[in-house]
A and B are shown apart, each in its own frame.
Chain A
Amino acid sequence: MSNLMQKLSSRGMRTPLDRSPWLIRSFLFVWLFVVIAPLLVLVAYSFFDSRNFMMVYEPTLKTWEGIFTSGRFEVTVRTLRIAMTVTLIELLLAFPSALWLAKGNCTKTTRAVVLALLTIPFFLDQSSRIIVWRGILDENGLINHVLMMLHIVQAPIKSLLYTEAAVHFGMVISYFPMMVLPIYMAMSVIDDTLISAAADLGATPARIVVDIILPLSLPGVLAGVVFTLGPALASWVEPNLLGGGFVNMLSNSVDSAYGALRYPVVAALSSFVVLMIGVIFAVLMFVTRRFADLSMSFRSLQS
C-alpha cells in the first residue's frame, strides 16, 4: 500500500491537504526581505557614522558613544523614566479593570460593549485625539473656563499644558486599552472553580488575587507591559502636542536627527528602543519566574 502511495506522490499527485511547500518558502523569503533585513540593517547602520551630511561607511562606536555622552543621554533617561511611570500607572489602573471585566459578574452585553469600546481607539487618528486635549487643558480651555466660572481660581492655571504632567496624562489615556486587553484575555481563561475552591478553604479575596489570579494572569500582564512600554518609549504624538517642545523625548531626538540627515543616529536611537524593550522584557521574565512558570501558562493557553 505504501508502495502505491510512493508511486503516486512521485508522479506528482498530491492529497488535498498536501500544501505546496513553496508557499511558506516564498512567504519566508518576502518576510525576510521586508522585515528581518531592515531590522538587521538598522542595527548595522548604528555602527556607522555620518559627517557633513554624508555617510561614512567605516564601523565605529562613535555614534553609540554619542548617545551616551551628549545631551541625548538626558533625553534617553527622561524617556525611560516617563515610559516606566506611565506603564506603572497603567498597570495599577488596568489590573482592577481587567479583573472586573473578566471575573466581576458582568453580563455578556456589558463585556462585549466594553471590549468594543476599548478596541475602537486603536483605529482612530492619534493626532486628532490628542489635539483636543490641548484645547481642553489650555489657558482658555474648558477646565480653566469652568474653574473660573465657579470662582475656584482667579486666573487661569497655566501649568496644565506643556508640562510633563500633561504628557503623562495623554500617554496614560492613549495606552490604557493596550494594557487592559492582554490582561483581560489572560484572566478570562482562569478557571472559576479555582477561585471558589480557594474561597471555600478560607482565603480572603486579597489572598485570592495575590496567590491565584496574579500568577495565572502573569503572561497577560507581561504582554500588556511590553505592548505599553514599547510604544511609550517611542511615543511621538503626546510629547509633541502636549509637551510643546518642553518635554523632549526620544522621538524628538530621532526627528531632529532624521531632519539633519544623520541616519546612524536615527538607527542607533531606534535600535536602542528595541534593545530596551528586549532587556526590560527579559528582566521581567526573570523576576517573575519565582511566582509563576510561564511555559506552563502558555501551554494551558494553547489548549
Chain B
Amino acid sequence: MTRQPQGRAWSYWSGWPRVAKWIAFGALAFIYFPLLWLAMMSVSAQPLSGLPFPISGANYVALFQSGDWLAPFGISVLIALGVGAVTAVTATLVGRVLPHSKRAGTLVLLAVLPLFIPGMSMGAAQFIFLRPMMGLTLGYWSIFLGHVVWAFPFSLLIVLVLTTRFDSRLVEAAADLGASGWRTFWDIEMPILRPGIVGAGTFGFLISFNEVQRSIFLRGTAETMPIWNWMMASSQQSQVPVIFCLETIVLAVVLPSLAALFWVLFVRMDKN
C-alpha cells in the first residue's frame, strides 16, 4: 500500500460508509416513526396528549359508530379501482405501440409531462379549463379524470419496461402460424406483459387512493377520503383521533397491496 499524503488521510477513513448508512437509516426512521406512532395513538385513551397510555379501544368504537367516513372511503375505493383499471388498459394499449412508433422519444416525454408539474398547478389548470372556461359542473367524474391523468405516466413507464424488452419475433411467429390478432395478444403478449399490466393497475389504484392536492381543485362538492382526512386534520382538534384510527385501518389494507406490488415489480419483472 503506497503512503498517502498526510493531509488527505481523512478521505480514507473507513467510517464514511457507516455515516452514509446511518444517514439513510435515520431518514427512514423519521419517515416511519409517525406511522408507528399513528397506530399506537389510535389505541390510546387520550390521543391528543403526548403519550399513548393508557390503552383503550374507545377511538375505534367511536369511529365505527360515527360512520361519517364511510361515504368518502367508499367513493375513494371506487374511484381508485376505476382509475387502476383505466390506466392499466390505456397504458397497455399505448405501451404496446410506443416502441414501434417513429417518434417514440417525444411521445414518452409528452406522456411523462404531468410528473414535472406540481399537483397544485395541474389541479388548478384542469379546474380552470373545466369550470370557468367550459362551464361544466365538477364532481366525481372530474376527480376521476384528474387522477387518471396523474397516474397514467407512472403506469405507462411500468408497462414500457416490459414492452421495450419484448421480443417482437414472437408476434411474427404467431402470425406465421396463422393466429389472429386477438389470439396473438391473449396467448403470447398477455402472459409476458401481465406483471407490467398488474403493476400498472395497482400503481394507478394506490396513487388515486391517496391523492389530495388535485382532488381538492377538481372536487366541486364531492368528497373523497383524502379530502375528508385533510378537512379533519386542518380543522378542530377534536376530530383528529378519528383520523388516527381510520388511517391505521387504511395502512393495514394498503401495506399488503404495496407488498404485492413490489413483489410483482422486483421479483416477477426482474426475471428477464
Do A and B pair up? The answer is yes
Chain A contact residues, CB within 8 Å of chain B: 15-17, 19, 23-24, 27-28, 31, 34-35, 37-39, 41-42, 45, 55, 93, 96-97, 99-101, 104-105, 112, 114-121, 123-133, 135-136, 138, 140-145, 173, 176-177, 180, 202, 204-207, 226-227, 230-231, 233-234, 236-237, 240-241, 250-251, 254, 258, 263, 266-267, 270-271, 273-274, 277
Q: Residues of A contacting B51 with CB < 8 Å? A: 142, 145
Q: Residues of A contacting B254 with CB < 8 Å? A: 123-124
Contact (Cβ within 8 A) B93 A23:
yes
Q: Quick check: is B79 within 8 A (CB to CB) of the other chain?
A: no
Q: Residues of B contacting A128 with CB < 8 Å? A: 38, 229, 233, 243-244, 247
Contact (Cβ within 8 A) B27 A173:
yes
Contact (Cβ within 8 A) B17 A120:
no
Q: Quick check: is B271 within 8 A (CB to CB) of the other chain?
A: no
Contact (Cβ within 8 A) B30 A173:
yes
Contact among A27, A114, A127 with B243 in the assembled complex (CB-CB below 8 Å)? A127
Q: Residues of A contacting B213 with CB < 8 Å? A: 234, 236
Q: Count B-side interface residues using an 8 Å CB cutoff.
A: 91
A38 and B126 in contact, given A23-B94, A31-B111 (Cβ under 8 angstroms):
yes
Contact (Cβ within 8 A) B233 A131:
yes
Contact (Cβ within 8 A) B20 A41:
no
**Among B2, B124, B130, which residue has the most Cβ atoms of chain A within 10 A?**
B124
Contact (Cβ within 8 A) A234 B119:
yes
Q: In the complex, how many angstroms separate the beta carbon of A248 from the nearest chain B beta carbon?
A: 14
| Nearest A-chain residue to B90, judged by Cβ | A27
Contact (Cβ within 8 A) A35 B20:
no
Contact (Cβ within 8 A) A136 B8:
no
A-B pairs with lowest CB-CB distance, top 8: A234-B118, A100-B20, A97-B24, A96-B20, A42-B125, A16-B175, A206-B11, A38-B129
Contact (Cβ within 8 A) A177 B100:
no
| Nearest A-chain residue to B266, judged by Cβ | A112
Q: Quick check: is B45 within 8 A (CB to CB) of the other chain?
A: no
Additional 18 contacts, C-beta under 8 A, given A96-B20, A116-B262, A116-B266: A17-B172, A19-B96, A24-B98, A27-B90, A27-B93, A41-B133, A55-B132, A117-B32, A128-B247, A131-B240, A132-B41, A136-B34, A136-B37, A234-B118, A237-B212, A258-B124, A270-B124, A274-B118
| Nearest A-chain residue to B150, judged by Cβ | A35
Q: Quick check: is B48 within 8 A (CB to CB) of the other chain?
A: yes
Q: In the bound complex, what is the Cα–Cα distance between A244 and B119 (angstroms)?
A: 21
Contact (Cβ within 8 A) B117 A230:
yes
Q: Residues of A contacting B207 with CB < 8 Å? A: 123
**Among B41, B121, B240, which residue has the most Cβ atoms of chain A within 10 A?**
B121
Contact (Cβ within 8 A) A104 B243:
no
Q: In the bound complex, what is the Cα–Cα distance between A76 and B117 (angstroms)?
A: 17
Dominant secondary structure of chain A at its interface with chain B: helix
Q: In the bound complex, what is the Cα–Cα distance between A118 and B29 (angstroms)?
A: 11
Q: Quick check: is B113 within 8 A (CB to CB) of the other chain?
A: yes
| Nearest A-chain residue to B205, judged by Cβ | A123
**Per-residue contact bits, chain B 38-63, to A (CB 8 Å; 1 contact, 0 not):** 10010000011111000000000000
**Per-residue contact bits, chain B 10-24, to A (CB 8 Å; 1 contact, 0 not):** 011000110111011
Contact (Cβ within 8 A) A254 B11:
no
A204 and B107 in contact, given A34-B145, A120-B255, A123-B254 (Cβ under 8 angstroms):
no
Contact (Cβ within 8 A) B181 A135:
no
Contact (Cβ within 8 A) B27 A263:
no
Contact (Cβ within 8 A) B210 A38:
no
Q: Residues of A contacting B113 with CB < 8 Å? A: 35
Q: Residues of A contacting B48 with CB < 8 Å? A: 135, 140
Mark out the residues of chain B between 201 and 229 whose CB falls within 8 Å of any chain A CB in the assembled complex: 206-207, 209-210, 212-213, 217, 225-226, 229
Q: In the bound complex, what is the Cα–Cα distance between A27 and B149 (angstroms)?
A: 12
Q: In the bound complex, what is the Cα–Cα distance between A237 and B259 (angstroms)?
A: 26
Contact (Cβ within 8 A) A136 B50:
yes
Q: Residues of B contacting A140 with CB < 8 Å? A: 48-50
Contact (Cβ within 8 A) B23 A97:
yes
Q: Residues of B contacting A24 with CB < 8 Å? A: 94, 97-98, 101, 107
Q: In the complex, how many angstroms separate the beta carbon of A265 from the nearest chain B beta carbon?
A: 10
Q: Quick check: is B192 within 8 A (CB to CB) of the other chain?
A: no
Contact (Cβ within 8 A) A100 B210:
no
Q: Residues of A contacting B230 with CB < 8 Å? A: 127, 237
| Nearest A-chain residue to B37, judged by Cβ | A132
Contact (Cβ within 8 A) B31 A121:
yes
A231 and B20 in contact, given A125-B210, A145-B51, A205-B11 (Cβ under 8 angstroms):
no
Q: Quick check: is B171 within 8 A (CB to CB) of the other chain?
A: yes
Contact (Cβ within 8 A) B262 A123:
no
Contact among A93, A145, A251 with B23 in the assembled complex (CB-CB below 8 Å)? A93
Contact (Cβ within 8 A) A234 B110:
no
Q: Residues of B contacting A35 with CB < 8 Å? A: 113-114, 149
